[in-house]
Amino acid sequence: MDVLKQVLGRLHPLIVHLPIGFIILGLLLQWYDRKRKEYGKVIPLVYLWGGISAALACVTGYLQYLGEGYAFDTVKWHLWSGIATALFAFLMYARLKEIRQVDFLSKVPIVVLSAFFFVLISFTGHKGGNITHGEDYLVEPLPNHIKSALGFETFEEKVIALNEENWQDAVMYDDIINPILNNNCVSCHGPKKTKGELQLHNPEVILKGGENGEIIVTGNSETSELYTRLVLPKNDEDHMPPKDKRQPTPEEIELIRAWLNIGNPFEGTIGDLGIEKELFLSFFPKKHDADYPDIQISAASQDTINGIKNKGFHVENISKASNFLEVSCINMPSFTDSDFEFILPIREQIAILDLGGTQITDAIFEKLATLPNLTVLKLDATAITGKDMELLASLEHLKSINFTGSLLEEIYLHNLVEFKKLEVAYVFGTQIQGEGVRTLNEGQIIIDYGNYELPPIPSDSIIY
Amino acid sequence: MQDHVQRLIQEKVVRETQAKTRRHFIKSCTQGMGGLALSSIFMGCDPLEKPKAKNPMAFSERDLNPLATLAPPFAPKVKSVIYLHMAGAPSQLEMFDYKPQLQKYHGQDCPQSLLEGKKFAFIKGTPKLMGPQAEFKQEGESGNWVSNFMPHFKKVVDEVAFLKAVHTDQFNHGPAQLFMHTGSARLGRPSIGAWATYGLGSPNQNLPGFVVLTSGGNTPDAGKSVWGSGFLPSVYQGVQCRSKGDPVLYIEDPEGMTRDLKKSTIDAINKINKEEYTKYADPEILARINQYEMAYRMQIAVPEVMNINNEPENVQQMYGVEPGKESFANNCLLARKLVEDGVRFVQLFDWGWDTHGNVREGSIDLGLRNKCREIDRPIAALILDLKQRGLLDETLVVWGGEFGRTPMQENRGNKKMAYKGRDHHGDAFTMWMAGGGIKKGVCHGKTDDIGFSGIEGRVSVHDIHATILHLLGFDHEQFTYEFQGRHFRLTDVEGELIKEILA
């Protein structure tokens, strides 16, 4: 019997278009026939059919409401207005057939009745559409500001933000699990829609489960549907969320699993529950790992940049999303210390500076110290010895210096320990002796001496 | 007669004007305005059409110099790419993908279940499985497997990220190479290097942005299309340089032509071109002027960068170069020099990896070993050299073939072959990447016990392209070129970033 209920119920979206068609046809015919009055016999008949099919739609609609687990609140307007539509169709039939019992209606002009009927069926159809497609179906493609101006709620994502300091203080359910369920599940399993009779927006309803019973087996994720449905293959009919909907990330799924395995506690911080840190790393702020400082600066004007380019410099934005610049003398081997003034207008924006192969001397260090955001510096194949290099220690972002093939002297090399953010210095091809990699400042700074070797081995000369 | 017609027309105009009321005007206004609004919604008839520049005389730098640099959409991890392609398809089973189980089944018939529905280039009937013909050891701190065919490679094994389960849908060299380098097995698409130079330009004004070097005595089976520009402007195609003789054909001035004479010739041509330009304002003319000047500069710069004799003795020894010859070692050293000078994309092809077992050079236990020896030292040297110069952090090195080789011994014509060989195999093969933005020492993907198919972490050719573009600062789904009415991508409609190997 239940099966029959469901099958008939699912016919509702099909059958429902019959009364719509008939009634609209009736209304159109009334309008078309307003002067000629040639279709007087047909119109009531059309409304009769409309009424009968509307009644059928009401029955199947009710069955669908029972069979598919909609909350009454969701369907009530559609349900009542649907019944009203069916009744009104019969009324129209009676009015047009001038049946005596409805004499009271004859005082109302037919135009008013038709107009009301049109409003009624539009309203009913709209409410039905809202149930299947969602209330924001029509407005969804609109930009957010128009949506909010029209008074529609925009989907509110609950952001999960943790960091190195606070991650242990976050409450596992409130700050992690609830946002994950909210962002991925609650649009269908929540107060507005309750598919499969399941809601996931608060602890009580989560524990209650859905039409197939509870979804959590305490302490066992592998038998809890709240987890197993997530990890089914995407094409599986039972996979949740449905494959065309937003999917939780692998890290989020792992957290659901971990939470279920410790008995789905609704209270207690991550620290109290003793959950391992690795699981939360994806919610930590991304470490800035790029060749420019992690700050915002204003852009240099295009005219300024073009002027510098015309002098022979290579100047390019690090990316379209960043105002920091890379400047190189790759096409300008004649660059000398005094040419530095050309790039002063963009001193704030320079993050990468390549002076490799130019005519610079140690006097350049004083000038380089005026580039506040310098991050990567290349001085390879130049005549610098490293004297006055300590002036660069004040640069807050300097991460990498390349001295390869320069005249760098060992006595100045140790000045690098003063450099706060320096990560690596390349000194291969200078007079400095050494091989491989050594570190300074307890491993903070890597000095790459290079001089790697591939000693000959017997197999080098064996020809097969 | 003429007068008569004129008068009629005149009268028609007057009548019409009289008949037209304010209502008519307002009515046609609403239609017109609606149309205007609609056209902006639908962006005219051709949605791809770009808005015309307001000032036809305002050119971008690109109009004048097609290789002018452009910033990538996102901060890039690398500036340059060195792509090492082993043309002919190297055997992963003798180099990096160690399959001890395969040794157990050595000499047994390949299970029918593996052969059903598969196509092989030469294998017929039921071939026999063949165990690894090399000895393997775990090397470096990462403990990744390297065979004794690659003894120097163990020194750099901790720098690379292996992809053990790459797959392709092509099993013949030409189409597979095209697929690997252009994202399509059919002709007509731009190569990765062309996309990169088109998208980023190249900072060095004296050198091409995309250089191709070949070794092994032959060029790839797919021909020059593997470094072609496809539908991109032809200026973005790879420039093939030779490591023997003149690096670029006809780069030397002919006898009797002095540098000064050359300069004045070019100056004269450019002067005429400039006059043309003042007349017609066609940016193509400016681009042409630029090209002449670049060619003139390249005459000096290219022979300089392509000369490996000036490199110190110990560097030459590390790579094992053979000056004056065409060799993979020379090309590796050149690749470093080119990248050092700001060349965007360097593509190396080494020919001779097609080890079917039909001839001695093409055998798994002999010829392959020689090929491995030829690349082993140069590749290790290239990575170490880039590293000590601080270039490895801003360069991506990619190694691979167009497909892999079968775990079965080839039985061409259903007969036993003269030498040990393996047939073409696209289901699973090994590639690796090293350099900026790459996680060091990882091994992504896994093949089954006999190395026939990937069972974990399978990646496609498109995935590799997506990852290369990502490291250069592009989202492969957004990086497009408009051609024949649609936007084309290197990865077409596929490709996912291989996040597992990204640092």
Q: Choose among A354, A305, A300, A345: nearest CA to A327.
A: A354
Share of chain A above pLDDT 70, in %: 98
- Write the pLDDT tens digit of every residue in B379-391: 999 999 999 999 9
> Who wins on pLDDT, A298 or A100?
A298
What residues have CB less than 8 Å from B429, skipping those under 6 apart? B89, B92, B97, B166, B167, B168, B400, B401, B403, B404, B405
Instruction: Tell me the shortest Cα–Cα distance from B124 to chain A, in angstroms.
Output: 29
- Write the pLDDT tens digit of every residue in B413-444: 888 888 999 999 999 999 999 999 999 999 99
User: Which of A290, A331, A428 lies closest to B75 in CB terms?
Assistant: A290
Which chain A residues are within 8 Å of B209, Cβ to Cβ? none
User: Which of A330, A380, A460 lies closest to B203 in CB terms?
Assistant: A330
Q: Choose among B486, B218, B443: nearest CA to B353.
A: B218
Task: Give chain B's domain count.
Answer: 1
pLDDT for A361 beyond 90: yes
* pLDDT score for A36: 84
Q: What are the φ and ψ backbone dihedral angles of B430, each rounded to 5 degrees?
A: -105, 140
**pLDDT (mean) for B169-198:** 96
E strands, B303-375, are 345-351
Angle (deg, nearest 10), helices A110-133 and A72-96 = 150
**Interface mutation target, options B388, B438, B470, B471, chain A, most CBs of A under 10 Å:** B388
What residues have CB less than 8 Å from A84, skipping those under 6 apart? A120, A124
CA B123 vs CA A427, B249, B409: distances in Å: 54, 41, 8
Residue of B nearest to A317 (CA): B71
What is the distance between the terminal CA atoms of chain B, rounded to a whole angstrom? 87
Q: Are strands B404-409 and A376-378 parallel, antiparallel or unpaired?
A: unpaired
Instruction: Say yes or no: B381 contacts chain A, CB-CB below 8 A.
Output: yes
Instruction: Tell me the shortest Cα–Cα distance from A434 to chain B, in angstroms.
Output: 12
* pLDDT score for B461: 97
Task: For chains A and B, count residue pairs whose Cβ atoms are closer than 8 Å.
Answer: 95
Position B51 confidence tier, pLDDT thresholds 50, 70, 90:
very low
Residue of A nearest to B79 (CA): A318
Residue B348 inside a domain? The answer is yes
Position A102 confidence tier, pLDDT thresholds 50, 70, 90:
confident
- Write the pLDDT tens digit of every residue in A112-123: 999 999 999 999
Which chain A residues are within 8 Å of B478, Cβ to Cβ? none
Which chain A residues are within 8 Å of B377, Cβ to Cβ? 454, 460
Share of chain B above pLDDT 90, in %: 66
Instruction: Tell me the shortest Cα–Cα distance from B314 to chain A, in angstroms.
Output: 9
Q: Using the beta-carbon criterion (under 8 Å), do B74 and A317 form an inter-chain contact?
A: no
Q: Using the beta-carbon criterion (under 8 Å), do A448 and B203 form an inter-chain contact?
A: no
Structural domain of B450? 70-247+321-501
**pLDDT (mean) for A384-391:** 93
Q: Choose among B388, B434, B436, B341: nearest CA to A402.
A: B388
- The C-alpha atoms of residue A142 and residue A2 are separated, in whole angstroms, by 40
Q: Is B260 helix (H, G, I), strand (E, B) or coil?
A: helix
Which chain A residues are within 8 Å of B147, Cβ to Cβ? none
Burial zone of A356 (CB within 10 Å; 0-12 exposed, 13-18 middle, 19+ buried): buried
Unique residue bearing structure tokens 């037919």 = A110
Which chain A residues are within 8 Å of B342, Cβ to Cβ? 328, 330
* pLDDT score for B54: 45
User: Which of B74, B148, B384 lies closest to A452 in CB terms?
Assistant: B384
Q: Which of A6-10, B30-34, B51-55 has the highest mean pLDDT?
A: A6-10
**pLDDT (mean) for A412-417:** 91
User: Which of B148, B390, B503 lies closest to A426 in CB terms?
Assistant: B390
Residue B493 inside a domain? The answer is yes
* pLDDT score for B43: 46
* pLDDT score for A98: 84
Instruction: Tell me the shortest Cα–Cα distance from A106 to chain B, in angstroms.
Output: 40
**Model-level pTM greater than 0.80?**
no
Query: Are B82 and B434 within 8 A, CB to CB?
Result: no
Position B52 confidence tier, pLDDT thresholds 50, 70, 90:
very low
Per-residue tokens: A35: 């002067």
- The C-alpha atoms of residue B97 and residue B445 are separated, in whole angstroms, by 11
Instruction: Tell me the shortest Cα–Cα distance from B81 to chain A, in angstroms.
Output: 17
- The C-alpha atoms of residue B162 and residue B141 are separated, in whole angstroms, by 14
Residue of A nearest to B386 (CA): A450
Mean pLDDT of the residues in chain B: 89
What residues have CB less than 8 Å from A447, skipping those under 6 apart? A413, A416, A424, A425, A427, A434, A437, A438, A439, A440
Mean pLDDT of the residues in chain A: 89
**Interface mutation target, options A424, A454, A460, A463, chain B, most CBs of B under 10 Å:** A454
Share of chain B above pLDDT 70, in %: 93
Q: Using the beta-carbon criterion (under 8 Å), do B203 and A328 form an inter-chain contact?
A: yes
Q: What is the DSSP string of A226-263?
A: HHHHHHS-TTSTT-SS-TTS----HHHHHHHHHHHHTT
- The C-alpha atoms of residue A311 and residue A314 are separated, in whole angstroms, by 9
User: Which of B69, B367, B377 lies closest to A460 in CB terms?
Assistant: B377
B 158-197: CB under 8 A from A: none
Instruction: Tell me the shortest Cα–Cα distance from A105 to chain B, in angstroms.
Output: 41
Residue of A nearest to B202 (CA): A314
The alpha carbon of A211 is separated from its chain's Cα centroid by a whole number of angstroms, namely: 31
User: Which of A291, A314, A317 lies closest to B71 in CB terms?
Assistant: A317
User: Which of B151, B366, B367 lies closest to A459 in CB terms?
Assistant: B151
Q: Choose among B228, B217, B139: nearest CA to B183.
A: B228
Position A161 confidence tier, pLDDT thresholds 50, 70, 90:
confident
- The C-alpha atoms of residue A420 and residue A431 are separated, in whole angstroms, by 25
- Write the pLDDT tens digit of every residue in B313-372: 999 999 999 888 899 999 999 999 999 999 999 999 999 999 999 999 999 999 999 999
Q: What are the φ and ψ backbone dihedral angles of B53, each rounded to 5 degrees?
A: -65, 145
pLDDT for A134 beyond 80: no
* pLDDT score for B59: 63
Instruction: Tell me the shortest Cα–Cα distance from A321 to chain B, in angstroms.
Output: 6
β-partners of residue B446 are B456
- The C-alpha atoms of residue A111 and residue A108 are separated, in whole angstroms, by 8
- Write the pLDDT tens digit of every residue in A40-86: 889 999 999 999 999 999 999 999 888 877 888 888 999 999 999 99
- Give the largest CA-CA distance in chain A: 116
- Write the pLDDT tens digit of every residue in B266-286: 999 999 999 998 898 887 788
B 308-367: CB under 8 A from A: 314, 318, 320, 341-342, 365-367
Q: Is B201 helix (H, G, I), strand (E, B) or coil?
A: coil
Angle (deg, nearest 10), helices A72-96 and A42-67 = 160
Amino acid at B209: G
Q: Which residues of B136-146 are buried (b: 16+ CB within 10 A; e: fewer)?
A: beebbebebbb
Angle (deg, nearest 10), helices B461-471 and B192-200 = 20
- The C-alpha atoms of residue B145 and residue B136 are separated, in whole angstroms, by 6
Which chain A residues are within 8 Å of B380, Cβ to Cβ? 454
β-partners of residue A273 are none
Q: What are the φ and ψ backbone dihedral angles of A168, each rounded to 5 degrees?
A: -75, -20
Q: Using the beta-carbon criterion (under 8 Å), do A460 and B342 form an inter-chain contact?
A: no
Which chain B residues are within 8 Å of A380, Cβ to Cβ? 389-390
* pLDDT score for A278: 81
pLDDT for B242 beyond 50: yes
- The C-alpha atoms of residue B266 and residue A336 are separated, in whole angstroms, by 30
At residue B321's C-alpha, the angle toward residues B318 and B323, to 5°, is 145
- The C-alpha atoms of residue A460 and residue A455 are separated, in whole angstroms, by 10
**Interface mutation target, options B78, B337, B389, chain A, most CBs of A under 10 Å:** B389
Instruction: Tell me the shortest Cα–Cα distance from B313 to chain A, in angstroms.
Output: 12
pLDDT for B462 beyond 80: yes
User: Which of B155, B370, B388 lies closest to A450 in CB terms?
Assistant: B388
Q: Choose among A343, A254, A259: nearest CA to A300.
A: A343
Q: Using the beta-carbon criterion (under 8 Å), do A457 and B151 form an inter-chain contact?
A: yes
Least-confidence region, from A80-84, A249-253, A261-265: A249-253
Query: Are A378 and A355 within 8 A, CB to CB?
Result: yes
Instruction: Tell me the shortest Cα–Cα distance from B365 to chain A, in angstroms.
Output: 9
Q: Using the beta-carbon criterion (under 8 Å), do A328 and B388 form an inter-chain contact?
A: no
User: Which of B71, B204, B318 lies closest to A316 in CB terms?
Assistant: B71
- The C-alpha atoms of residue B188 and residue B226 are separated, in whole angstroms, by 10
The yes/no answer to whether this complex scores an ipTM above 0.90 is no
The verdict on whether omega for the bond into residue B47 sits within 30 degrees of 0, i.e. cis, is: no
Find the DSSP H helices in B341-366.
none
Phi-psi region of A209 (alpha: psi -120 to 50; beta: other; left: phi over 0): left
Q: Is B196 helix (H, G, I), strand (E, B) or coil?
A: helix
Residue B377 inside a domain? The answer is yes
Instruction: Say yes or no: B390 contacts chain A, CB-CB below 8 A.
Output: yes
User: Which of A289, A378, A454 lies closest to B377 in CB terms?
Assistant: A454
Find the DSSP H helices in A97-224.
110-133, 144-149, 178-184, 203-208
pLDDT for B24 beyond 80: no
Q: Choose among A401, A395, A403: nearest CA to A357.
A: A403
With residues binned 3-state (H G I as helix, E B as strand, rest as coil), the percentages for chain A, rounded to 5, are: 45, 10, 45
Query: Are B143 and B154 within 8 A, CB to CB?
Result: no
- The C-alpha atoms of residue B399 and residue B222 are separated, in whole angstroms, by 18
Q: Which of A100-104, A435-439, B240-244, B406-410 has the highest mean pLDDT?
A: B406-410
Per-residue tokens: B142: 């990462």
Unique residue bearing structure tokens 């091994």 = B443
Residue B156 inside a domain? The answer is yes
Task: Using an 8 Å CB-CB cutoff, list residues of chain A that contact chain B.
Answer: 289-292, 314, 316-322, 328, 330-331, 378, 380, 400, 402, 404, 424, 426, 428-429, 448-454, 457, 459-460, 462-464
Q: Which residues of A75-94 are buried (b: 16+ CB within 10 A; e: fewer)?
A: bebbbebbbbbbebbbbbbb
β-partners of residue B348 are B84, B213
Burial zone of A59 (CB within 10 Å; 0-12 exposed, 13-18 middle, 19+ buried): middle
Q: Using the beta-carbon criterion (under 8 Å), do A404 and B388 form an inter-chain contact?
A: yes
Per-residue tokens: A117: 């009927």
Domain harbouring B448, CATH code: 3.40.720.10
User: Which of B71, B342, B393 lies closest to A318 in CB terms?
Assistant: B71
At residue A280's C-alpha, the angle toward residues A275 and A281, to 5°, is 135
Residue B33 inside a domain? The answer is no
**pLDDT (mean) for B233-246:** 85
- Give the largest CA-CA distance in chain B: 106
Q: Is B249 helix (H, G, I), strand (E, B) or coil?
A: coil
> Who wins on pLDDT, B118 or B401?
B401
Q: What are the φ and ψ backbone dihedral angles of B434, each rounded to 5 degrees?
A: -145, 155
